[in-house]
Amino acid sequence: MSACPFSKPVEESDSGCPFGSSPKTQTINESPSGTGGGLGERMATCTTYQSGGCPIDNKAKDDIEDLLSVQAPRSLSLNGKVLDRFLPETYPIKINKYQESQEILDDPQLAMAMRQGTKVVHRAAEDSVFTRRFLKGDITKDEYGQYLRSLYFVYKSMEALLEEHQNDPAIEMIYFPDELNREQTLLDDLSYFYGHERLAEVTHPDTMTPAVKQYIAAMEEACKVNPALMVSHSYARYLGDLSGGQILAKRLKKHILHLEKEDSSWDSRVGLSFYHFNNIGNQNEFKNMYRQQLDEAPVTARTKDLVVAEAVRCFELNIALFDEIQALSDSDQLHKIDSTKDVTNASNTSKQQPSLDWLLQNVSSMSSWTAAGMAAITTLGCVAYLRYRRA
């Protein structure tokens, strides 16, 4: 037991313990010279202790009893900010910071993880008013033109970011610019609908809508967090286009270009370049290869979780695009396609004969629709594909 602070050794002129009347020169913890007495005998010499007990000893006893009388809470939580006050500034670990394991997963299964993680929000994408109208063939040329313009800005930004970060180990696994890039095909389609002379006007950055700006900003922010998150955007956009592009192209031929299967220009790709991947042979084989590459991407458990979360974000961004086009249409704020331009006649006069490679590609695709059910992603192409399977 520590010495009583009020019974320190004093000089002969001192009065001894301030709580006692005896001018002792020894501390309470020291036995009187030659007595060899115990603690009880020594404390008995303190007059304050004799009258009311030692105030220091009783205080410690009272504090302990108070602590024991308090009911401990059932659920304890740490306040990191409070604890930080008691840590030295050079302490190497921040208590409130997530410590990521750097161990690379052997089998991340990113494709399946994104599919499972986006089921709920994918249903919301299907229920978008614009999506349902698109699949029914109930959209106007002006609405479709805005859709193409929105996609142009999104793909231009996405493909620039993928190129910038192509050496990231995860992106490197799924980076196929020659096969997948869509920026030029969108320019071709915009030129067809709006006219080449208006192309600079409708693709000017100042014409980007709020939802488009939000989409681009989200991708840029994702790269700052971890460039590997662009895997989510690549997967969502490209596999959706590959899975449902042909279905949407047929809807557009009938309801936007006003063509029938019997027309000689039915097989023309003019105005529909976005939906055709000229550098991919068998699309189903390519999609399977792409998913396999995803499953071999070198990512940690934390990065995998972030990639799945970013895939959900892709859905939300696409839903925002669809809703914005619907709102612009309802308020008559769409950028008008020149009403004097007859896209039907333009399609007829610009007829292109389908190549043998295109015929072989589409025969292969039509014979293996059931193999394409893995793509559950954000684009209208994916939604169209799922509706096709349910019919």
Q: What is the architecture, at CATH level 2, of domain 110-390?
A: Up-down Bundle (1.20)
Note the pLDDT of residue 53: 62
**With contact defined as beta carbons under 8 Å apart, do 315 and 383 qualify?**
no
What is the gyration radius of the CA atoms in the chain, in angstroms? 37
> Which residue in this structure is represented by tokens 């192209």?
249
Query: According to CATH, where is 1.20.910.10 located in the chain?
Result: 110-390
Note the pLDDT of residue 140: 96
CB atoms within 10 A of CB 365: 17
Closest among 373, 211, 347 to 273, alpha carbons compared: 347
User: Taking 60 as the threshold, does the pLDDT of residue 255 lie above it?
Assistant: yes
In three-state secondary structure terms, 41 is helix
User: Taking 50 as the threshold, does the pLDDT of residue 152 lie above it?
Assistant: yes
Mean pLDDT of the chain: 76
In whole angstroms, give the CA distance from residue 329 to residue 276.
Answer: 27
**With contact defined as beta carbons under 8 Å apart, do 98 and 293 qualify?**
no
Two tokens at 176?
A: 């196929």
In whole angstroms, give the CA distance from residue 221 to residue 133.
Answer: 32
Angle, vertex CA 138, rays to CA 132 and CA 140, nearest 5: 120
pLDDT in tens, 378-389: 445 544 444 444
Across 193-205, average pLDDT: 97
pLDDT in tens, 232-248: 999 999 998 998 777 88
Residue 167 burial by Cβ neighbours in a 10 Å radius (0-12, 13-18, 19+):
exposed
Note the pLDDT of residue 70: 53
In whole angstroms, give the CA distance from residue 232 to residue 112.
Answer: 12
User: Is pLDDT larger for residue 279 or for residue 356?
Assistant: 279
The band of 117, judged by pLDDT with boundaries at 50, 70 and 90, is: very high
DSSP 215: H
The band of 314, judged by pLDDT with boundaries at 50, 70 and 90, is: very high
pLDDT in tens, 54-113: 665 555 556 556 655 555 444 444 444 544 444 444 434 343 334 556 899 989 999 999
> Which residue in this structure is represented by tokens 């020659």?
178
In three-state secondary structure terms, 128 is coil
